[in-house]
Structures are given as structure tokens and as C-alpha cells.
Amino acid sequence: MSASDRLPEPTDDLDRQRADLETHGFCFVADALTEQARLAILDRIERQAAGEEAAGLAIMDGPNQSVGNLVDKGEEFWGLLTHPIIVDLIGWLIGGEAILSSSLGKLVSRGGEPGGIHNDQGYLDLDVDEPLVANVMWMISDFSETNGGTQVIPGSHRVPRRHGDPVDLSQWVSAAGPPGTAMVFDGRLTHRTGVNVSDGRRVGVLTYWCRPWIRQQENMVASLRDETVDALPEAVKRRVGFERYRSLGGVDLSPRHGDMVDRAAPRTGRLG
Ligand SMILES: O=C(O)CCC(=O)C(=O)O
């Protein structure tokens, strides 16, 4: 068996990570998060999940909870958006000007159902033989076959497939790694949330990226609160979609590549 045939395992070898992405459609980055960053994210997301539940706002699928729009819910998440992975792997897959499409926490508890089978660019109505989007699953707890680790079909990124197409369920492999590992995956990879049969809660954060001319899943220029926008470091603001891309993303005045959107800028409105 050659090195490229072996299923991905956590590694800090960038060449291996890229080879795994090419061959299998996913790779694992070992020790992607410092323990300090991981614990800060864990604390914030657990508090946020509990707060949303107490406020009657929890997004539930059985025992599993999703926490959306994380960029707006704590600066603890912002470092994920300028992490070296975003240049080394996301940029390598979908270009250096990739923007964040959404940020999502997934807390998977015992007794749920498998998540919906999908690939992240399955909404396209044409076959494109390259990734237009890509994802990072940050393992904030450990991930395993028994605690609901994301299930993926290795190599499925090379098989054209749309939502609803039949899937050979015998091919699932569970993403596994210690806390602080990141799984990076090609937007064409078939995957779903696994089932947790353990007593612990699986905690993951997805930062989902797209090419800068694709509509974002979360319209962050509209959805982030003013206090978040004011506090965001410039580099993060660019990454979440405030930077105009070529002729796209402007407000009112003709857009210029590289300008930043100013939500408070006056609009010309109806004149004459
Ligand atoms: O929770 C997971 O393991 C995967 C979640 C996912 O793919 C999604 O929410 O789109």
C-alpha cells in the first residue's frame, strides 16, 4: 500500500496533508489549536449553547445542538479565521482570496440520528471538477467513531454527485482525532454527522469557506452586529466578506477591488 492509499491520520506534514486532500478529499492537521485556544472556545461554545437553550433559541436536531453565526458570538472564534490552515490548505484548495461562508458549532450528544448526507457544494446545478468551497472541522473535544465523529466517504470528492443521489453506506469512515485536531475537507466530499453512542458530548466548530464570488451561507455583512463589526480585526473583517472582490460586493457606489464595505456609508438614493 503506498503512502497516498493510506487513510488520512493527524499529521503536521503539509505535503502529506495536501496529498491526503487530493487523494481522499480530507486531511487531519495535528495539534492545530493550542490548548489555551481550544479551552477558550470550548468554554464559550458551551456557555453559548446553554444560553440559547435557556432563551428558547436552541437549534436542535434530537439531542444534537447547532450554534450558528459564531463570529458574532465571541472573539474566541476569530483566531480560527486567520489560522495558518486557511492559507496553507483552504487557500491551496480554493484560492487565497477565499471568504468565510459560515461558522457553526455542532454539539453532538448520545442518542441522535445520523446527520443528513451531503457535500458542501451540492447546491450547484452544474458539475464542476474542482472544489469551489472547503471546510474545516475544528475538534474542540475528541472525535471518534463512538462519539459522533463526522462520517466521510474517502475519495467521494472525485465522484460527481448531487444532493439526493444514492450513497453506498458501507463506505463511511469516521473522522477521529484528539482535541485540537482539525479536519480540512474538499467541498465535494460526501459527509454527515455521526451518531454518538458514548456518554460524552462531541463538540466541533465548522468554519466553511467559499470562493469570493459565491454567495455566503451566512450573509455576514448584514448579520453581524455593529459591536462585532467595530471590534473585528481588519484581517478577519476581510475574511468574512467585507472586502469587495473585483466588481462584486459593493454598496451603492461602483465597487473597487479591495475596498472595504462601510455599512454606515450614505447611499445616494432617489434624486432628480
Ligand atoms: O457535525 C458534523 O460532524 C458535520 C456537520 C455538517 O456537515 C454540517 O453541519 O453541514
For each of the domains in the chain, give its residue range(s) and CATH number, in order of start. Answer: 14-213 (2.60.120.620)
206 neighbors 106 (Cβ within 8 angstroms): yes
Task: Please state the atom number of ligand 1 nearest to the C-alpha of residue 66.
Answer: 9
Rounded to the nearest angstrom, the distance between the alpha carbon of 65 and the centre of ligand 1 is: 11
| C-alpha span between 144 and 254 (Å, rounded) | 50
Q: What percent of the chain has pLDDT over 90?
A: 85
Confidence of residue 52 (pLDDT cuts 50, 70, 90): very high
Q: Which of 211, 254, 266, 261 is nearest to 234 (CA)?
A: 261
Region 102-106: what's the mean pLDDT? 98
Region 122-126: what's the mean pLDDT? 84
Region 200-215: what's the mean pLDDT? 98
pLDDT at 149 over 60: yes
pLDDT at 1 over 60: no
Region 150-178: what's the mean pLDDT? 89
196 neighbors 151 (Cβ within 8 angstroms): no
Nearest CA to ligand 1 atom 7: 192
Q: What is the pLDDT of residue 4?
A: 61
Pocket test for ligand 1, best of 70, 106, 205 (most atoms within 8 A of CB): 106
Q: What is the pLDDT of residue 244?
A: 93
Rounded to the nearest angstrom, the distance between the alpha carbon of 256 and the centre of ligand 1 is: 35
Region 139-168: what's the mean pLDDT? 90
* Amino acid identity at 100: L
